[in-house]
């Protein structure tokens, strides 16, 4: 699974470079003005299920972040409240690389509060919908445990 995610991300980045260099390409055409405030309802794990507020290159989010972590010898569902910031390299374009950092208090007994760093690509579908594909590193400082998670998400902008 991790290898497939890495291959998918590697295959997306060359396409991004090409899309930005082709004159008149619809991929490079702005879809939303960067000075506008945007509120997006997001689902699943990029950044999670919740709300994201953005303006220009920056976004702030508060979301529920589920994942499966091996604890006590078993694969168990683990839930976090994820609070953080994201930066979009090309906020006005249909396709944009992004990076985010967040604090993730654990909502599940048996796992400590964590930090998440995520990188990926956002793709807009029209003016209201977006998808995100990336990879996140989840780190729990108290137990010094690290997890690499594939992230995928959908959003509806209001």
For residues 116 and 145, is the Cβ–Cβ distance under 8 A? no
Residue 41 pLDDT more than 60?
yes
At 55-66, the pLDDT tens digits run 999 999 999 999
At 70-81, the pLDDT tens digits run 777 788 888 999
CATH architecture of 2-157: Beta Barrel (2.40)
Q: How many CA atoms lie within 13 A of 34 on its CB side?
A: 14
Residue 152 pLDDT more than 50?
yes
At 76-113, the pLDDT tens digits run 888 999 999 999 999 989 999 999 999 999 999 878 89
DSSP state of 15: H
User: Considering the chain, what is the average pLDDT of its residues?
Assistant: 83
**Four-CA torsion 97, 104, 139, 65, nearest 10 degrees:** -60
């Amino acid at each position: 699974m991790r290898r497939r995610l890495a291959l998918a991300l590697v295959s997306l980045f060359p396409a991004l470079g090409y899309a930005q260099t082709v004159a008149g390409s619809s991929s490079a055409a702005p879809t939303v003005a960067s000075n506008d405030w945007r509120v997006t309802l997001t689902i699943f794990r990029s950044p999670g299920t919740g709300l994201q507020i953005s303006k220009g290159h920056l976004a702030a989010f508060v979301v529920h972040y589920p994942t499966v972590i091996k604890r006590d010898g078993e694969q168990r569902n683990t839930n976090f409240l994820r609070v953080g910031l994201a930066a979009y390299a090309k906020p006005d374009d249909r396709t944009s690389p992004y990076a985010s950092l967040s604090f993730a208090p654990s909502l599940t007994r048996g796992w400590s509060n964590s930090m998440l760093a995520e990188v990926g690509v956002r793709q807009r579908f029209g003016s209201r919908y977006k998808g995100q594909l990336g990879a996140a590193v989840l780190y729990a400082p108290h137990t010094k445990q690290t997890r690499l998670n594939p992230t995928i998400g959908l959003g509806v902008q209001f």
